[in-house]
Copies of this chain bind each other. A is one copy, B any other.
Amino acid sequence: MTPINEHSALVVDDHPLVARGIAEYLRSHCGFDRADAICAAADLWANIGRFGAPTLALVDFWLPEGTALPALVRLRDEYPATRLMVISGDDDPAVRDKVRRLPVDGFLLKQAEPAVFAQAVAAVLHGDAWFDEAPVAVQTAGETRNLPLSPAELGLTPRQGEVLAMMLKGLPNKRIAQALSLTEQTVKEHVSGILDRLGARNRIDLITRLRGKRVDA
């Protein structure tokens, strides 16, 4: 088994190279004698069985199987001495919230600077908690992080594209009409055309089908 003062770490992330990169960093810059990279929760238990409980476990919130929540509570439960940190790539407030209620010692965004990373790891090893603050006014995720579709690639006319874009913002026909200086009726016809082309029964069906997507002008 591991000697008393040896520091070992486990990194769990579904991106093999990311896990390896972080593990490597822990070895070279954070004074760990051993750091293993793991890609699935299943391998986690196997690894612990072989090498014993690590000093620190860094676990990605999103794993291929879903969230890491069950794995985290089990880890905490079975190996209470292991320090637990959660890392995440996307800065979703809901994720922060969930993590804060979890029995873990720290939370960190993957886009953190290596120096911050080292600082956080040191703090957690020392017995302190380390929770990343939300960066101010960075509302990337939902809005910026998806590609606008062009009307053409949906088989729509330019005008239909404009109407669709406004529909997806939740605007009613009347508002669309006045925004485009049209009759409500003309808008309705564009809407009918769009629904027909995209195979949706009504605008709600359309919106839910295209949920999260955007269309440009």
A-side residues, CB < 8 A to B, are 14-18, 20-22, 24-25, 62, 64, 66-67, 89, 92, 94-95, 98, 110-114, 117, 140, 142, 144-147, 149, 168-170, 172, 202-205, 207-209, 211-213
Contacts and interface: CB of A to CB of B under 8 A. Distances in A.
A94 B147 contact: yes
A16 B113 contact: yes
A20 to B, nearest CB: 6
Contacts of A207: 170, 204, 207-208, 211
Contacts of A21: 17-18, 20-22, 24-25
Contacts of A147: 67, 92, 94-95, 98
Protomer copies: 2
A142 to B, nearest CB: 6
A149 B207 CA distance: 20
A163 to B, nearest CB: 14
A15 B112 CA distance: 7
Given A204-B170, A207-B208, A117 B62 contact: no
A111 B145 contact: no
Contacts of A211: 142, 207, 211-212
A207 B205 CA distance: 11
Given A16-B111, A16-B113, 8 more contacts: A15-B110, A16-B112, A17-B22, A17-B110, A20-B114, A170-B207, A203-B204, A211-B212
Given A92-B146, A144-B66, A147-B95, A17 B114 contact: yes
A145 B68 CA distance: 12
A14 B111 contact: yes
